[in-house]
Amino acid sequence: MENINTEEIKSLIQKWKGKDGNLVMILHEIQNRYGYVPRPVSLEVSKETGIPLARIYEVITFYNYFELCPPAKHTISVCMGTACYLKGAPELLEEIETLLHVQEGQSTEDGQFHVNVVRCLGCCGLAPVVSIDGKIFGKVKKSEIMEILSRYTHEENNVKV
Ligand code: FES
Q: List, for residues 43-89, the tens digit of each pLDDT value.
A: 999 999 999 999 999 999 999 889 888 889 999 999 999 999 999 99
Q: Residue 115 C-alpha to ligand 1 middle, in angstroms?
A: 17
Pairing of strands 130-132, 74-79: antiparallel
pLDDT at 158 exceeding the cut of 50: no
For the cut 60, the answer to whether the pLDDT of residue 159 exceeds it is no
Q: Is the CB of 83 under 6 A from ligand 1?
A: yes
Angle at 135 between CA 129 and CA 75, to 5 degrees: 85
**Residue in 55, 64, 58, 48 with CA at minimum distance from that of residue 16:** 48
Buried residues in 111-132 as b, exposed as e (16+ CB within 10 A): ebbbbeeeeebeebebbbbbbb
Domain regions of the chain by residue span = 6-62, 74-156
Q: Is the CB of 121 under 6 A from ligand 1?
A: yes
Tell me the CA–centroid distance for residue 75 and ligand 1, in Å. 17
d(CA 36, CA 49) in angstroms, rounded, equals 20
Percent of the chain topping pLDDT 90: 67
In short, whether 89's Cβ falls inside 6 Å of ligand 1 is no
Tell me: domain 74-156, CATH 3.40.30.10, correct? yes
pLDDT (mean) for 81-103: 97
Whether residue 1 is predicted with pLDDT greater than 80 in this model: the reply is no
Q: Could you tell which of 129, 136, 137, 140 is best to mutate to test the pocket of ligand 1, judged by most ligand atoms within 8 Å of the CB?
A: 129
**pTM, entire model:** 0.70
